[in-house]
Structure 1
Amino acid sequence: MIFGFRVSLLLVAGVLIVAVPIGGGLGLLAGYFSGKIEAVITGFTNVMLAIPPLVMALAVGNVLTPSLTNAMIAIALLWWTWHARLVYRVSKSVAAEDFVEAARLAGASHWHILTREILPNCIAVISVKTTLDAAFIILFGATLSFLGLGVQPPTPDLGTMVADGRQFLPERWWGVLAPGLAIFYATLGFNLLGDGLRDMFDVEV
């Protein structure tokens, strides 16, 4: 069970390390710049949002050899869109503030305004969103492994444990209950952490 948690946390880290910078960067650019840049980024994000993440993950899992790395790729392909949408909404609002206009009139570069004026005001919502996403990624990873498209034996994984344990139901019910409870408590813990951060920062995600 402990080694199964390790795989789940590695999956969370791998997906968020890719999805948060990509989505946050695109959201910043779309929120700060108007015109064609905003239209292209928001249009592409909306198209990607129309694709169900689980369907994309299943498609990638079928094409690529099932493994932890490929599970990260499958989930990260669409996960950045939620961060892009969220950061775009916040940065669009911040970009209209007087202090941003004052920095622009003072001759500050676009890079300075994006990284020093707008990005710090997005950190709170990004932190809350990232924490809440960790719970969903654990569920996604467990689902892929349960279907045989995620982490493969002999690497221990909670979703694989549930899939293997169901073969021995109802006599050996603990083979499903134990990893199922592990997934439940992991997702509950991240959700409670995200709710606590949201209350502390007083933001809406």
Structure 2
Amino acid sequence: MRTVRTERDPAGTPDPEDPPGLEDLLAQVALGREPAFERLYDLLAGPIFGLARRVVRDRAQAEEVAQEVLVEVWRTASRYDRTRGSALAWVMTMAHRRSVDRVRSAQAATDREERVSRMSGEIPYDQVSETVTTRLEGERVRRCLGGLTDLQKQAVTLAYYGGYSYPEVAGLLKVPLGTIKTRMRDGLVRLRDCMGVER
């Protein structure tokens, strides 16, 4: 099993609808055909990673989740039933469920650590202060994003919150790569100035 590639060629990034032949590839994977899995991997690794990254927020965790989902697809391809929905929806539902499980597991571990900390008499980290700071920073970022052009806002959001590379952003927005790079640069400069970040 290969490591999940997170930087992808935009030509290999599927549209929101099923890539051509995805159902047939799943049927071949169900028969244990590795070349079919290689092709399926190329089509789905990026979207799975992107979804996982949006849910779990951590790149390394998202890579692990994506790897787990691809292994699950390899093992359970025979369970796919095309009468119950598209192949892409089946895989992405699997990816979403596993991502949410990862978040819940991390939260449960944090809760356990806090309980142990309280029982041992240690003073826990000031979570109220952290929550307030995070919310204020989030509001500030949203306000500053509102000052960008639509293309700048879409490009920055896809790249920094969606985990997409510049070529992928260009493919998703159907805009030349050079234009995306320029809009990203200009948008990030405006964000930096709006938020008062030192150069």
Normalised TM-score (structure 1): 0.28
Bigger relative contact order, structure 1 or 2 (CA pairs below 8 A, ≥6 apart) = 1
Structure with greater helix percent = 1
